[in-house]
């Protein structure tokens, strides 16, 4: 299907007069919600950690006291949540309240969940009288802030058409990947496999250059002058050089994605030798207490294998 690009004309939707809900204001959710507000979308937001919502309030969003309030006031609700447990809690899944929250609403689920979980949740939402659009995004904090994400959508054709205009301030492109979950999630996992192996390869090549005491700025300049230059390398290379591990995509999140990709590979019988090697390295980095650092901190695992003493982290996982 032809992708939607920023600047394409979008039709009006019947929900234009009602606010949109956004639940989950973490590393990705906060800039996504902020871009919606800045684009003039009436927004009602909620976050478990309330102070995260204050900058949204200042930008013009309304801050709800609870997830229940978001669902009462909004017909379309974005969920950008960390995992299945957080999603179930927000939806009150497994209780009578679940049907009250989702009936007549369209859920736009942008987080990365296990495909089997997404399939089951979609069925429950539809059975309760709601609509479900799976909408994982490709990109980390920086493209989220810039409105340069790429969204992969799956759901009923009318449901996708209704919510797709909302992605204009969030994404440079959106792609419809199928008519039901988990087609978009599986596409996201395939994309993330390439991303993870690419960043790990960049860290490994940087570590090799460092071990040989090469001129590291020159090494990175040569990379950027060659055919391997990309937005990913331009973002991650300076972080490696400066040992800037402030998170854009955390080790913990990458390890979660690694696990989901491995499960999808096993389910299909696909071989995943590069992923398996990356999984071990990110696992070692996480075990070292660096789960909240950016994914380029995987270089710490490489340094550890080389017998180097790991540096202390300013932001360690518990």
Pair 127, 13 in one domain: yes
Question: 19 in a domain, yes or no?
Answer: yes
* 38 φ/ψ sector (left φ>0, alpha ψ -120 to 50, else beta): alpha
The reply to whether the predicted model has a pTM over 0.75 is: yes
Q: Give the per-residue pLDDT at 309.
A: 80
* DSSP H or E stretch at residue 76: strand 76-79
Pair 169, 200 in one domain: no
Distance CA 195, CA 202 (A): 11
The catalytic residue among 188, 236, 239, 256 is 188
The yes-or-no answer on residue 236 being catalytic is no
Quote the DSSP letter at residue 286: H
Pair 212, 68 in one domain: no
What residues make up the domain containing 142?
4-179
- Residue 234 has a CB neighbour count (10 Å cut-off) of 12
Q: Give the per-residue pLDDT at 16.
A: 54
Tokens 């409105």 belong to 147
Give the residue ranges of the chain where pLDDT is below 50.
1-2, 7-15, 314-318
How many structural domains are present in the chain?
A: 2
Question: 126 in a domain, yes or no?
Answer: yes
Q: Give the per-residue pLDDT at 6.
A: 54
Question: 310 in a domain, yes or no?
Answer: no
């Amino acid at each position: 299907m032809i992708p939607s690009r920023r600047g394409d004309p979008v039709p009006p939707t019947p929900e234009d007069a009602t606010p949109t809900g956004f639940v989950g204001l973490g590393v990705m959710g906060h800039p996504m919600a902020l871009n919606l507000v800045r684009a003039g979308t009436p927004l009602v937001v909620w976050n478990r950690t309330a102070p995260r919502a204050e900058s949204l309030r200042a930008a013009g969003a309304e801050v709800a006291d609870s997830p229940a309030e978001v669902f009462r006031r909004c017909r379309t609700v974005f969920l950008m949540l960390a995992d299945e447990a957080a999603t179930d809690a927000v939806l009150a899944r497994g209780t009578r309240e679940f049907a009250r929250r989702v009936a007549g609403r369209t859920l736009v689920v942008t987080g990365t969940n296990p495909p089997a979980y997404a399939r089951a949740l979609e069925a429950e939402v539809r059975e309760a009288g709601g609509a479900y659009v799976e909408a994982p995004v490709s990109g980390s904090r920086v493209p989220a802030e810039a409105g340069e994400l790429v969204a992969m959508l799956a759901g009923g054709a009318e449901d996708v058409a209704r919510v797709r205009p909302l992605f204009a301030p969030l994404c440079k492109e959106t792609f419809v990947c199928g008519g039901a979950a988990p087609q978009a999630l599986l596409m996201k996992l395939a994309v993330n496999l390439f991303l993870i192996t690419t960043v790990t390869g960049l860290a490994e090549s940087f570590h090799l250059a460092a071990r040989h005491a090469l001129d590291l700025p020159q090494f990175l300049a040569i990379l950027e002058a060659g055919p391997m230059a990309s937005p990913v390398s331009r973002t991650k290379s300076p972080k490696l050089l400066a040992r800037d591990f402030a998170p854009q995509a955390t080790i913990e999140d990458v390890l979660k994605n690694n696990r989901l990709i491995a499960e999808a590979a096993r389910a299909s019988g696909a071989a995943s030798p590069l992923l398996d090697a990356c999984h071990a390295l990110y696992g070692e980095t996480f075990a070292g207490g660096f789960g909240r650092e950016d994914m380029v901190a995987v270089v710490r695992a490489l340094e550890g294998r080389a017998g180097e003493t790991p540096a202390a982290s300013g932001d360690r996982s518990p």
